[in-house]
Structure 1
Amino acid sequence: MIPVSVDPNAPLFIVLNVGSGNHDTAKTRAIIEEILTHAGREHHISMVEDPARLHDLARQTVEKAKPRGGVVVAAGGDGTLNAVAQATLPSGCPFGVLPQGTFNYFSRTHGIPSDTAEAARLLLTARAHPVQVGLVNDRVFLVNASMGLYPQLLENREAYKQQFGRSRLVAFWAGFISLLREHRQLRLRIEYRGETRVVRTPTLFVGNNRLQLEQIGIPQAYLLEQGQLAAISLRPVGTLAMLWLLLRGAFGQLGEADSVSHFAFKHISVTPALPYGSRRVKIATDGEIEWLQAPIEFRVAPEFLFLLKPEPDLSVSGQS
């Protein structure tokens, strides 16, 4: 699909998460307002003071934007972008991003500047490009979704961030400590292309972000641009082997490890062996933890998210 031009007078409806990253929220808001006001662009900023209200506020923002032909903008980290994209996807509204997080995988993949002022100026001129969205059951994910060890690692990482602050070093250290602890194995029945396979693994990770997959060395990363997702699972290994895999991922060599399985797909159904009477599974989507009903369906969303982003540099990519 080709990019869609956005009405230069379309109002911008911005959801700004106070708790994202290390940014000074008041300063961030002032930068956004100065640039948009100077450009004469109508805009409305909704501040997320309570994280528990993020999804409701995102939904209310989309409800305001849609009848006016407005653009919905998420200002925050990947978790904030996820919540606002969840509300925006079915509406068809253009979607803008003002990155404020620690890793910002989604915005970096699509060439959106990390500088707030530059990202705000981009909102004024960018066209809306269709980008792929992943679904786990009915939940959106822009970067990744996972079950097992990875959601536990994210919970531990958040606890460390609360204590030591938000940084990539803290995130890496939290992951290292998590891997030192005992982790249970999942028994998963995966239905894929009409076949069923049973695997034992500490985690199942599904990626929808080319940059992240390339950084850890997964060869299917390029297939995301062909309408697929990438699944990664680890064979049962000991703690030392798990730490070695962590290092391989840090050096972009995870996909070459014998104990790592990976494949591309459009849809898989995953049924974990659960304790008697239990039907819920802990899932992480773009760094946010939630519980979903089994079976767990991972698939490519049938609709695109129309993202305001820079035009591709064809002189560099050599692609049209």
Structure 2
Amino acid sequence: MTPPEFSSRSPLLVVLNAGSGSGEALRTRGVIAAGCAAVQRDFHVYEVEAPDRLHTCAREAVKRARILRGVVVAAGGDGTINAVAQAALGSGCAFGVLPQGTFNYFSRTHGIPSDTAEALQVLLHESPRAVQVGMVNERVFLVNASLGLYAKLLEDREAFKAQYGRHRWVAFCSGLLTILRGARPWYLHMSWHGQQRDIRTQTLFVANNALQMHRVGLAEADAPEQGQLAAIALKPQGAIAMLSLLARGALGRLGEAESLVSFTFESMKVRPMRGRRRVKVATDGEIGWLDMPLDFRVSLEPLWLIRPDVAPELEATRQ
């Protein structure tokens, strides 16, 4: 793996999601301008005001970064980071993050602060390091990919937020209602590492984030640090048992649940055993349709993320 051409003078090409409001976007631009001016670093901001412009702006930023030997930077939540990473993967450009989401698992796993000014200092003073990328078919995921109940939870949450506002209690109520309604099981055939398994499950969750898995207590938490992904399938069960499972996760004891099937892999094929040709898949919280079969794998190309050598929060979870 050859690192991208990079220097402390490389310009920043920033894709900024303004969806959270013009005031927040203006503040972020101010932080970027002040920080870059202090070290005489060039930058350009691509401000995304409409969701359908995100992928176009990301491609434009990558194109310019390749010409200028610059750094492609995602400023936003998981969806923004995912879209910019999709464009940057394999481009030969360094990649940076100014996290502005709720959980920020990707940035926290790699030691990047959630505060914009502090994250900018990482961008200005650290170097690119190779970071594993997960793929499902041709779609990137940095944190997780899922189908079934978990994807439905995310989809319902966004619908509730659009109607009632982006508040934590709205997300909680939405998730509770989705669980109480229940979900039809999926019948899947999975093959990996020469092994095969037929499974009846309410959700299939593929993880590529060590911090998130450590937080809920999964034994496979360090798989992404070892060049692998982790698959977690949930056996069908009722609403009360599901709520109990969520409580286990909140306490960091999810791995003790007998209703979970989990294992690690580098590549895995998932085929439907009954009829489905297309399926809704959530990748880093963004819902989209994909054709079956699903091909989950570790990308041959890493992201060259500008990050510190040590991630304190991740190290703390291992102690």
TM-score of the alignment, normalized to the shorter chain, above 0.5: yes
Kindly provide the CA deviation profile for residues 217-236 of structure 1, in whole angstroms up to 9, marking residues without a partner as x.
11101122110001001111
Partner of 1:9: helix, strand, or coil? coil
The 5 A counterparts of 1:38-53 are 38-53=38-53
- What residue number does 1:239 align with? 239
Structure 1 unaligned residues grouped into runs of 5+: none
Match of 1:292 among 285, 290, 293: 290
Q: Distance in 2 between matches of 1:255 and 1:21?
A: 39
Partner of 1:92: helix, strand, or coil? coil
- What residue number does 2:27 align with? 27
Partner of 1:221: helix, strand, or coil? coil
- Answer yes or no: is 1:264 the counterpart of 2:259: no
Partner of 2:301: helix, strand, or coil? coil
The 5 A counterparts of 1:129-168 are 129-168=129-168
Report the CA distance shift for 1:115/1:201 in structure 2 as closer, same or farther (over 3 A).
Answer: same
Partner of 2:213: helix, strand, or coil? helix
**Partners of 2:126 and 2:306 within 8 A in 1:** yes
**Partners of 1:3 and 1:127 within 8 A in 2:** no
Q: CA deviation at 1:39?
A: 2.0
**Partners of 2:133 and 2:302 within 8 A in 1:** yes
Identity %, equivalent residues:
54
- What residue number does 1:307 align with? 305
Q: Distance in 2 between matches of 1:117 and 1:123?
A: 10
Kindly provide the CA deviation profile for residues 11-58 of structure 1, in whole angstroms up to 9, marking residues without a partner as x.
110000012599711111111112112321100000111111111211
Corresponding letter in the other structure for 1:284: A
Corresponding letter in the other structure for 2:77: G
Q: Distance in 2 between matches of 1:185 and 1:239?
A: 13
**Partners of 1:283 and 1:292 within 8 A in 2:** yes
**Partners of 1:266 and 1:299 within 8 A in 2:** yes
Kindly provide the CA deviation profile for residues 84-119 of structure 1, in whole angstroms up to 9, marking residues without a partner as x.
000001102110000111111101111101111111
Q: TM-score, normalised by structure 2?
A: 0.93
Report the CA distance shift for 1:2/1:55 in structure 2 as closer, same or farther (over 3 A).
Answer: closer
The 5 A counterparts of 1:165-184 are 165-184=165-184
**Partners of 1:185 and 1:236 within 8 A in 2:** yes
Corresponding letter in the other structure for 2:148: G
Q: Distance in 2 between matches of 1:295 and 1:313?
A: 36
**Partners of 2:108 and 2:311 within 8 A in 1:** no
- Answer yes or no: is 1:100 the counterpart of 2:117: no
Report the CA distance shift for 1:106/1:169 in structure 2 as closer, same or farther (over 3 A).
Answer: farther
Q: Which moved more, 1:19-28 or 1:126-135?
A: 19-28
- What residue number does 1:125 align with? 125
Q: Distance in 2 between matches of 1:279 and 1:108?
A: 36
- Answer yes or no: is 1:110 the counterpart of 2:117: no
